[in-house]
Structure 1
Amino acid sequence: MIRLLSTKLRDSAHYVNRERSTNQHTLKASKASVLTLVLVLMAMMVVACNSAPDVHLARGRSIEIQVSRPVVKTNMSFLDDEGKHRVVRPRASNRQLAMVEIAVVNRTSTVMPLLIDEEAAELGDRRGERIEALDPFVNSRVVEAADPKEDEFAPLLWGEVQLDRDFQVKGWMIFDVPKGLTLGSVFWNEIEEIIADYVDYFDRG
């Protein structure tokens, strides 16, 4: 072992001068690489700070909700449990559909019974109007042919659910909202009241 170590030291001595020159070039290259990396990371941080997150999270005492940003549509289609093709449209020309994907997570209870209906969630503005969720089965009509985008918002989050601890249920909810309404927050009301904000109300003044 000692002989091998000594050999390594002697062998390395022959390359000291050459390594000094090489190390100088390597050091310059390393500095340039570090500078480039710093600039790239700074650019990524700027983009991250300026980009709104796709999913917003809010926690209560027992549950957690995760909500996507609203997707505005003129209509939406889905296939019901009986295999019927259904279409939902706003009830007036001055209104539009806002689709929100919501996940409800049970963090504490052993089993949590959920009733997800019109009153379970609202969409709107903390300082203004709030719109209750739309019942997709009552407020839709059956059509003969399937829409090409029938599965775009599947599954729907609706009905009674038994949610075990550390499990989640996830799906889309429909809101028939007036055009021009600020879609600033989701107000969750089932089990407990939780608000997930898309906008910073204090920053808006």
Structure 2
Amino acid sequence: MVKEENMNNYKFSNSISEENKLLYKDKISKSIEYLKNNLYEYGPGLKNSTLSYVVTKIESQSSNILRIYFEFKEEKNIKSKSGLEYIDIDNNDVIQVRRIINKPKENFPWPIFTLAIISLLIAAIFVSYRVYWMDTDGDNLYLAGRSLWVRSDEPVKQEFITYIGNDVNGNEQYWAISPAKQENNLIFVKLSLINYGSGTVKIVIDEDASTLYDDKSIQYKPINPIERTYSSEKSDNYLVNGFIPLWGPVQLDPQEQVTGMMIFEIPKSSVAEQLKWDAGDLIMFAY
């Protein structure tokens, strides 16, 4: 429960005692000021938004550090789940650490998930892909496994990913995916999976479906685009046209294909060098 008490545009949950409200009032105000002056860390969907804050927990980390937890969300999007972050502030009211644990999002982006599944099914049902029609000479990004051919585009690195889809009311909406850590970027790889065999292939595309290797041979697993998607303001700088997440269960009948994007989060200084495909086949791409 949140107590309807507003001080400098923030509220307290009922778990915060009156004593702590008064004792830490200045530190909370300093923290709120810092958050509102650093909205860019929320990503393109929130950096220009008006946010409301609720102080949910206050705890001492040491004799010199106080940790204050804040729930936050867009004032105009009251139906979304709140994001959560915390500030570590010292005895001199200097911010030492700010960590965003999660960002506001719809209760669950069922329209996006449904659109992704429908797009995969349509691609699988209506796109007949005859392997013998394709010339693969010299194409080291079009490789065969035991039952699948997989075609990979070059990885694309971006600070954020935005794309256009429909909301719960069928209205066109911008959506976004952001790195969980400020020091990271996102990489998306467009993949096409083709069943050239005589039998049906069933695979599940999840965190174990592939592995990305950077120039230091560090491994990264794909992120779940359904869980990480949130509504966004218009942001054409990061717009990925035709974005379809490659995620979830897929069934490919003979001579059918499906195409979509897999997303990874890696440090800004890293370079993608290899991708290993593990779902149904073992295929290695070198970029």
For Structure 1 versus Structure 2, the TM-score category normalised by the shorter chain is 0.5 to 0.7
**2:185 aligns with one of 92, 96, 109:** 96
Q: Do 2:221 and 2:264's aligned partners in 1 also have CA atoms closer than 8 Å?
A: yes
**1:78 aligns with one of 163, 176, 181:** 163
Q: Do 1:54 and 1:68's aligned partners in 2 also have CA atoms closer than 8 Å?
A: no
**2:150 aligns with one of 51, 56, 65:** 65
TM-score norm. by structure 2 comes to 0.46
1:11 is aligned to none
Q: Confirm or deny that 1:122 pairs with 2:207.
A: no
2:243 is aligned to 154
Q: Confirm or deny that 1:192 pairs with 2:277.
A: no
Q: Distance in 2 between matches of 1:147 and 1:182?
A: 25
Stretches of structure 1 that go unaligned for 5 or more consecutive residues are 1-52, 199-205
Question: Aligned letter for 1:128?
Answer: S
CA drift at 1:187: 0.8
Tell me how large the CA RMSD over aligned residues is: 2.4
Question: Aligned letter for 1:70?
Answer: P
CA drift at 1:151: 4.8
Question: Aligned letter for 2:221?
Answer: E
State the percentage of identical aligned residues.
26
Q: Distance in 1 between matches of 2:175 and 2:265?
A: 16
Question: Aligned letter for 2:192?
Answer: A
1:4 is aligned to none
More strand by share: 2
CA drift at 1:196: 1.1
Q: Do 2:140 and 2:285's aligned partners in 1 also have CA atoms closer than 8 Å?
A: no
With a CA cutoff of 8 Å and minimum separation of 6, indicate the structure with the bigger relative contact order: 1
Count of residue correspondences: 145
SS state at 1:160 partner: strand
User: CA 1:55–1:67 in structure 2 vs 1: closer, same or farther (change >3 Å)?
Assistant: farther
1:165 is aligned to 254
Q: Distance in 2 between matches of 1:126 and 1:94?
A: 17
Deviations 1:78-123 (Å, cap 9, x if unpaired)? 3456455321111122211111100111111421112111211221
**1:106 aligns with one of 184, 195, 217:** 195
SS state at 1:184 partner: strand
TM-score norm. by structure 1 comes to 0.62
Question: Aligned letter for 2:220?
Answer: I
Structure possessing the higher radius of gyration over alpha carbons: 1
Q: Do 2:203 and 2:279's aligned partners in 1 also have CA atoms closer than 8 Å?
A: yes
